[in-house]
Amino acid sequence: MTVAVWWVRRDIRLADNKALQSAASIGKVVPLFVWDENLLATAGDRRKDFLYQALHSLDNSVNRALIYREGPVADAVVEFCRLVGADTVHITEDFGPYGRKRDAAVEAALVADGRRLVRADTPYVIAPGTVRKDDGTALKVFTPFYKRWLNHEWTSATETNVEFADFRDLCAGPKKKADEGWSANAPVGEHLAMDRFNEWSHRAIDEYKDARNNPGVDGTSMLSPYLKFGIVHPRQLLQRLTGTPGSDVFRSEIAWREFYADVLFHQPDTTWKNLQPKMDALPVDTDELAQERFAQFCEGKTGYPIVDAGIRQLLGTGWMHNRVRMIVASFLVKDLHLPWQWGAQFFMEHLLDADIASNAHGWQWTAGTGTDASPFFRVFNPTGQSEKFDPEGDYLRRWVPEIAHLDNKSIHAPWELGLLAPSDYPEPIVDHAVERNEALARYKAVSGK
């Protein structure tokens, strides 16, 4: 019996999976998942549970044929190939800094053992490093990247019958982990992800251009965790888009994800370092008071309702509305003057969709250290943003119950009520107007602008 290993990573699905189809072209497929100690090193319990649920759902889809093994990864993959007699290992390529190093080590170990690593797919529509200028250099700004990205051709997997080999007796890794966070009432699987997209797009995509900014309504697809783990591929979503304005904006959002992956691919040290080295000179606060304020920020107790609502949504669900992510990030960097890396690390721990490229460069975009051409002057007013995008206070009332009884005007700035302000909700830890001026003064001191 000829078998091939499908090493499951960020492609926890059966549909439109070129790595799976590549393995199936060789013979019977053995799906393998390796518990890598780095895989969950920065993950909080919610993201771990989400992964366990996704793997459990996949295992059910392949009639319990998914094999779990424990690292070190290179040793585990080579040893497993020997056990099942597989000459090839088929993967969806990883373009992150750690993943590239890991895969190179696995490939070297396989070659030394007379076997091959087959990079058959990518988590992106267009692989990072593909979209370039005419002179072959990387694109550093989104708009020109997007124009070229739109013109690149791409194809989905050609679906064929897949036969899975039964080697479940070789499941030496902790398969039980897949059940720890699983609930029969709320499984995470590719069919449910596509059901969500189909329902949402039919109902809400026409209003997406505007509704995506309103955290109090169900206006976004909320598929980012599914994209993060490859439970759904962005190709599957693009195929379902039309030429409507809402579809166009959604398409550009997918492209932003791919742009950030491309930026990190070309400059892998920007996971935690400024993309613009000139911004290294910008003073940030790291003293005891800064750490106290960061602790209040992480608890959702800043006194600014829209910021606190976002943090509490994150802690409560593992997800935060995208508009609110920008408001929260701006507050940390430009009101509290803290290093963006503190916020990025906090998000990486708690977000279900914690993607290293999108997270790092989303924070850098707001912090003024990344890809935006003139970003530091953009200082979000948390109260103004709240009034504009959650005018009825629906989002605030859901996540900050201490102020839920306030009227639609007062709920955005409860401290303005003076003695009538809710006693169980904190006053603002800083004055936004003062800190905005301080942020701009710091920038002027190092830039002259």
Residue 166 lies in a domain: no
Give the CA angle between residues 393, 397, 402 to the nearest 5°: 125
Residue 78 lies in a domain: yes
Residue 169 lies in a domain: no
Say whether both 150 and 92 belong to one domain. Answer: no
Say whether both 98 and 152 belong to one domain. Answer: no
Residue-number span of the structural domain to which 427 is assigned: 271-447
**Residue 37 pLDDT:** 81
Q: How many residues does the chain have?
A: 449
Number of domains in the chain: 3
Final residue in a domain of this structure, among 121, 147, 164: 121
Residue 398 lies in a domain: yes
CATH code of 202's domain: 1.25.40.80
Say whether both 254 and 314 belong to one domain. Answer: no
Half-sphere exposure of 370 (CA within 13 A, CB side): 24
**Residue 178 pLDDT:** 46
Say whether both 101 and 146 belong to one domain. Answer: no
**Residue 185 pLDDT:** 45
Say whether both 18 and 80 belong to one domain. Answer: yes
Residue 178 lies in a domain: no
Residue 163 lies in a domain: no
CATH code of 292's domain: 1.10.579.10
**Residue 373 pLDDT:** 61
Burial of 1 (0-12, 13-18, 19+ CB in 10 A): exposed
Say whether both 116 and 138 belong to one domain. Answer: no
Say whether both 204 and 105 belong to one domain. Answer: no
For the record, the structure tokens of 357 come out as 């490229």
CATH code of 107's domain: 3.40.50.620
Say whether both 197 and 69 belong to one domain. Answer: no
C-alpha–C-alpha distance, residues 69 and 19, integer Å: 19
Residue 182 lies in a domain: no
Residue 97 burial (CB count, 10 A) = 17
3-state SS class at 164: strand
**Residue 1 pLDDT:** 78
| Residue appearing with tokens 């401290």 | 415
3-state SS class at 90: strand
pLDDT digits (tens, 9 = 90+) for 344-390: 999 999 999 999 999 999 999 999 999 976 676 789 999 999 999 99
- Residues (pLDDT < 50) of the chain are 178-179, 181-185
Residue 119 burial (CB count, 10 A) = 17
For the record, the structure tokens of 88 come out as 């090839």
Q: Phi and psi of 219, rounded to 5°? A: -105, -5
Residue 249 burial (CB count, 10 A) = 14
Final residue in a domain of this structure, among 99, 121, 143: 121
- The DSSP bridge partners found for residue 89 are 5, 117
Say whether both 201 and 215 belong to one domain. Answer: yes
For the record, the structure tokens of 127 come out as 């692989």
Residue 162 lies in a domain: no
For the record, the structure tokens of 57 come out as 């759902």
Please answer whether residues 400 and 305 qualify as being in contact, where contact means their C-beta atoms are separated by less than 8 angstroms.
Answer: yes
| Residue appearing with tokens 């990883």 | 94
C-alpha–C-alpha distance, residues 422 and 397, integer Å: 13
C-alpha–C-alpha distance, residues 8 and 176, integer Å: 17
**Residue 184 pLDDT:** 44
pLDDT digits (tens, 9 = 90+) for 262-307: 999 999 999 999 999 999 999 999 999 999 999 999 999 999 999 9
To which H or E segment does residue 117 belong?
strand 116-121
b/e per residue 206-238 (b: at least 16 CB within 10 A): eebbeebbbbbbebbbbbbbbbbbbbbbbbbbb
Question: Is the sign of the CA dihedral 130, 134, 140, 143 positive or negative?
Answer: negative
Query: Cα(first)–Cα(last) distance of the chain, in Å?
Result: 69
Final residue in a domain of this structure, among 217, 237, 266: 266
Say whether both 286 and 364 belong to one domain. Answer: yes
Please answer whether residues 343 and 363 qualify as being in contact, where contact means their C-beta atoms are separated by less than 8 angstroms.
Answer: yes
Half-sphere exposure of 21 (CA within 13 A, CB side): 12
Between the alpha carbon of residue 369 and those of residues 95, 287, 307, 422, the distances in Å are 22, 21, 21, 37
| Residue appearing with tokens 């790595």 | 19
Say whether both 34 and 96 belong to one domain. Answer: yes
Please answer whether residues 1 and 28 qualify as being in contact, where contact means their C-beta atoms are separated by less than 8 angstroms.
Answer: yes
Say whether both 260 and 279 belong to one domain. Answer: no
C-alpha–C-alpha distance, residues 196 and 175, integer Å: 28
Question: Is the sign of the CA dihedral 421, 425, 427, 433 positive or negative?
Answer: negative
User: Identity (one letter) of the amino acid at 150?
Assistant: L
